[in-house]
Amino acid sequence: MINALRKKPVEIEEATASAAAPRPEEVDKRWAIEARGLRKSFKAGHVMVDVLKGIDLLIEPGEIVLVMGPSGSGKSTLLAAVSGLMKPDQGSVVALDTNIWKMSRQKIDKFRLANCGFIFQGFNLFPALTASQQVQIVLKFMKIKPAARKAAAEATLRDVGLGHRLGNRPDRMSGGEKQRVAIARALAKKPKLIFADEPTSALDGENGNIVMTLLRKCAKEQGATVLCVTHDARLAAFADRIITIEDGLITSTNADPASFAHHH
C-alpha cells in the first residue's frame, strides 16, 4: 500500500518529463553518423553469405574512429554501406542529418560530392595527371572556378608536405607521396566526413604515421569526422575510439588501444 502510494507521483513525474522536455543529453546528441541495423549478404555460388549481420554504428562529430577486424570480417562492406557507396539489404544510415539510403542514387552522389572525402589503399591516381591536377579534378566537379581550385589544390598539397611535388606525375612519386596526393584530393574540399579504407596498408611505418597525423589534424582542426577501417594495429594510437568487428558483428565499440599494440 505504502509502495503503491509512493510510486505513483514518481511515474507521473517521469511521464511528464519525457513527454514535455527530453533529457538535455538526448537533445544535444547529434551524431555525425548514425547507422542502425545494417545487414548485407552476398551470393557465393549457390549460398548466401551474411557479411553484415545487424550493425549499429554511432559516431560523434569530430571523432576519429577506427574499425578493426580480421580480413573478411566485413570492414570494407560496412564502410561502403555507411558512406553511400553500396546499399545495405537492411538498415538505415543517417549521415549529417541526411537519411542517405532513402534518397535517389543521384541525390546520394551529390551528397557524397558535397560532404565526403574518400581515401583507399590503392591511391587511384590518374597516371597522366600532375599532383596538382589530381586534386583539382574533384574541385572541378564541385564547380569551383579554375583559379580558385588551383589555389585550393596547391594549398592542400602544401599542407600534406608536397609543395615541392605539385607538377609531378604519379610515376615520379614514392608510395608515401602518392598516398598524400590521394589524401590532399580527399581533403581539398574540406569534407565533413572522411572515409578511409586501409589508407596505410601500402605504406611503411613512417609514411603511415604521416597519413594518420594528417587525418587527425583534419578531425581536430576542421571538425571532420573520420571513419577509418584497417587491420593495421599501428593505427590504434591515432584513434579516439576503436570499434572491433568480427564475422559481420561488432564485438566492441570502445576497444582498448593497448590491446592492439602487442599484436604486431
Ligand X SMILES: Nc1ncnc2c1ncn2[C@@H]1O[C@H](COP(=O)(O)OP(=O)(O)OP(=O)(O)O)[C@@H](O)[C@H]1O
Which residues in this chain contact ligand X in the complex, by CB under 6 A? 42, 51, 69, 71-77, 231
In angstroms, rounded to a whole number, what is the distance separating the alpha carbons of residues 149 and 159? 15
Pick what 208 binds: Mg ion, ligand X, none; C-beta below 5 to 8 Å, kind-dependent.
none
Pick what 170 binds: ligand X, Mg ion, none; C-beta below 5 to 8 Å, kind-dependent.
none
Alpha-carbon distances of 248 from 35, 75, 189, 244, rounded to whole Å: 14, 8, 32, 10
Give 149 or 231: the residue with its C-beta nearer to ligand X. Answer: 231
Q: Which helix (H) or strand (E) holds 194?
A: strand 193-197
Give 76 or 207: the residue with its C-beta nearer to Mg ion. Answer: 76
Closest distance of CB 211 from ligand X, Å: 17
* Size of the chain in residues: 264
Determine contact, residues 213/141, Cβ cutoff 8 Å: no
Closest distance of CB 165 from ligand X, Å: 29
**Interaction residues for Mg ion, span 59-98 (CB under 5 A):** 75-76
Determine contact, residues 77/40, Cβ cutoff 8 Å: yes
Determine contact, residues 247/54, Cβ cutoff 8 Å: no
Cell of 144: 569551383
Cell of 82: 555507411
Closest distance of CB 21 from ligand X, Å: 42
Q: Which helix (H) or strand (E) holds 120?
A: strand 116-120
In angstroms, rounded to a whole number, what is the distance separating the alpha carbons of residues 165 and 174? 11
3-class state of residue 67 by DSSP: strand
Closest distance of CB 74 from ligand X, Å: 4
Nearest residue by C-beta to Mg ion?
76
Give 79 or 125: the residue with its C-beta nearer to ligand X. Answer: 79
Give 122 or 163: the residue with its C-beta nearer to ligand X. Answer: 122
Pick what 136 binds: ligand X, Mg ion, none; C-beta below 5 to 8 Å, kind-dependent.
none
Closest distance of CB 48 from ligand X, Å: 10
- Tally Cβ neighbours within 10 Å of residue 5: 8
Give 63 or 197: the residue with its C-beta nearer to Mg ion. Answer: 197
Give 78 or 226: the residue with its C-beta nearer to ligand X. Answer: 78
Closest distance of CB 53 from Mg ion, Å: 17
Q: Contact between 230 and Mg ion (CB under 5 A)? A: no
Determine contact, residues 181/120, Cβ cutoff 8 Å: no
**Interaction residues for Mg ion, span 188-227 (CB under 5 A):** none
Summarize as ranges the residues that interact with Mg ion (CB under 5 A). 75-76
